[in-house]
Every structure is written in structure tokens, then in C-alpha cells.
Amino acid sequence: MRLILLLLLIGGGMRLAYAGDGLRFQHLGKGSASDDPTQLADPAPATSVTSIRDAGGGTWWRGEILADVNGPEASGMPTVLYFSGGFHATDTVVLPGGQRIVRNRFGDAGPAWGLRAEVPIVLPSTMGAGSVLYVHVDDPRGRAIAPQLSPLSDYLDRAVARKMVVAASTTALLTLALLAVILRRSFGGAAYGHLAWMAFLMAGYILTFTGELHHLVHNAWLTGWGSTLQRTFAMSAVAFSHLFIVSYLELHRRRPRVARVFSVFVGLQIALALISWVEGREPSPLGALVSNLLILASIPLVLFEAWRAHATVCRPDVMCYGPGARR
């Protein structure tokens, strides 16, 4: 589910990928965000790159717009500078004229906490090919960042498309959760309860993954802890998906050893979620990597147990396992 959602959301912005070719950066050196970047030494042309990072203690970069991303029909319209490709902390952009704009990965509610923090900045319409801007990156982990340009109209179209995907996905999951609650009350069985929790938590993950939860609930605490909350929703949803499989296939009765293996997967996911809260507002990307590896490790076991359940039927039209199954 997480992979499908990611492909749908990112797919909406594939047509903007070319915009990175119109923006190049040159390394200026270390410094604080309050420094005047125009007073730093001119960089060597050979250092021109399309992705930037913090070399430690804060790093300044000089960016130059090589080409106007607006087509002839949008000439003179504003463009959007947005950052993607890394869970960076704080960016400070200095525009021509000295205007400073600060974007914080974990303190500001960008349009996406999970989608590499696309914190956007609308550039003045006067900025086009040949314009220069300066970017200060403050990220202790030194992760790569890909500043990109996009026509304002395209960026807004992409934002609308993403909201439609989010609305459809969230509605479907909440409907599934409600249906599972009804089935739980009608037929009993823990499996439907686990399914309801899984669907509800996955809906919460989508809302935090895309940053839409901030637009629905304006809360400073929620904004600051959005990344940690997102990870908690995701890992808890995966944990309940394992519990659903165990209860639906009655693995505690049929295959207790396999049920214990799933219990280990559940415990590890919950432990990773708790660790992310201990880490604070900037949880390490390692936790998400470990969670995804656990999901990959569980897939063969899930498929095998599903195959065994499919192969073991009481009659061609009645399964032996699951809530309401006839013995």
C-alpha cells in the first residue's frame, strides 16, 4: 500500500523533472545563515552541480537559473523553487535584493512531510534566465537536496492532482475501516477488528505522509512532530496488518510457530515507532529503512501462508479459516 501510494503521488510530478536542468549550483563554503553570501569567495566553474548538501556546520551555495521554465504562453508568470530529494533540516534562500526566506523541514508544514519535504518558494516574476540566488543548507546529516524549478501553474496542477489522490485513498481506507467495524459487530472475530485498525492507521499515514493533516488540523505541536507521527501511523498499520493475517488465518491454532514469527515482526514495528519518538522531531531515516526491510522480509511468509490457506478448503465455496468460517 505504501509503495502504491508513493508511485501515485510521485507520478503526478514526473513532468516537472526537467526543471532541475534549468538550475545549477556552485559551492561557496561554510557559514551561518545570517552571513552575507555575496561577500563569500566566487566559486570555481568546475564545481557546478544540480544537487546540494550541508558539508557540516551550515553551507552556502550560489544558484543560477540557466533557462526560463515558463513557456511562451506563461511568459512573465512567477516560478516555484522547491526542494526535494532529502530529509534536510533548514534552508535559507537569499533572493536578489537581499530578501531572505527560511524554510524548515521539521518546523514548517510543507505540502509534504514524507515526500522529501517539498517546501516551495514562489520566485518573483522578474527572476528568469541568468538570475542568481543563494541557498544556505543547515543539515547535520548532510543529505543530498535537489532544488528544482517549476512553472507556478504546473506546480498548482500537481498539488491539485495529489489532493485528489489523497482524498480518494483516504476515503477508501476509512470506508474499509467502517465496513470492518460493522463486520466485527455482526460476525465477531478479532480479524475484523485488526482490519479496521489497519485501515484507519493507514488513512492517518496518508494524511501525514502528504502533509494534508496539517491543513485539516492547525496545531503547532502537530506541525513540529509531523514526521514522527507519520512514521508511527505507518509502522502501527503494518503491525495491525500482521495481526490481521494471524487472526484471519487462525495461525495461533493451526501454526503457532508461524504466529510467533509474526509476533516478532509486530513487536519490531512497534519498537521502531517508539524509538522514533525518543529520537525527537528529526527521526533518523534508518528507522524507516529498517521498517521497510521488515516488510520485505515478511512478504514471502505472508504469501506462503495465504497459499496454504487457499489450498486448504472445506468445500470449493467455503474456506476453513477466518471469521465466520464453517468447520
- pLDDT tens, 131-158? 899 998 887 777 778 888 888 888 888 8
Closest CA to 122 of 99, 90, 146, 138: 99
Contact 207, 166 (CB under 8 A): yes
Average pLDDT (294-307) is 88
Arithmetic mean of pLDDT over the chain:
79
Closest CA to 84 of 130, 17, 142: 17
CA distance 168 to 281: 29
Give the per-residue pLDDT at 274.
Answer: 94
Higher pLDDT, 237 or 13: 237
Average pLDDT (156-180) is 90
Question: Where are the chain's structural domains?
Answer: 16-151, 188-319
Give the per-residue pLDDT at 171.
Answer: 95
Q: Please report, in angstroms and rounded to a whole number, the separation of the first and last CA atoms in the chain.
A: 32
Average pLDDT (157-169) is 87
Give the per-residue pLDDT at 113.
Answer: 42
**Percent of residues, the chain, with pLDDT higher than 70:** 78
Residue 72 banded pLDDT, cuts 50, 70, 90: low
Give the per-residue pLDDT at 50.
Answer: 81
pLDDT greater than 90 at residue 308: no
Q: Report pLDDT digits (tens) over 203-227.
A: 999 888 877 887 788 777 777 787 7
Give the per-residue pLDDT at 16.
Answer: 45
Average pLDDT (224-237) is 87
Per-residue cell: 100: 531572505
pLDDT greater than 90 at residue 263: yes
3-state secondary structure of 305: helix
pLDDT greater than 70 at residue 324: no
In sequence order, what are the residues at sequence separation of 6 or more whose Cβ sits closer than 8 angstroms to the Cβ of residue 297? 265
Residue 43 banded pLDDT, cuts 50, 70, 90: low
Choice among 24-28, 113-117, 225-229 with the minimum mean pLDDT: 113-117
Give the per-residue pLDDT at 18.
Answer: 43
Amino acid at 325: A
Choice among 85-89, 150-154, 227-231 with the minimum mean pLDDT: 85-89
Total-model pTM: 0.74
Q: Where are the beta strands (DSSP E) in the chain?
A: 23-30, 59-65, 79-84, 90-94, 100-104, 120-123, 132-138, 146-151, 313-315, 318-319
Q: What is the SS3 string spanning 232-278?
A: HHHHHHHHHHHHHHHHHCCHHHHCHHHHHHHHHHHHHHHHHHHHHHH
Q: Report pLDDT digits (tens) over 275-289.
A: 989 988 777 778 888
CATH of domain 16-151: 2.60.40
Choice among 114-128, 167-181, 233-247, 307-321 with the minimum mean pLDDT: 307-321
Closest CA to 84 of 150, 25, 145: 145
Contact 38, 100 (CB under 8 A): no
Higher pLDDT, 77 or 236: 236
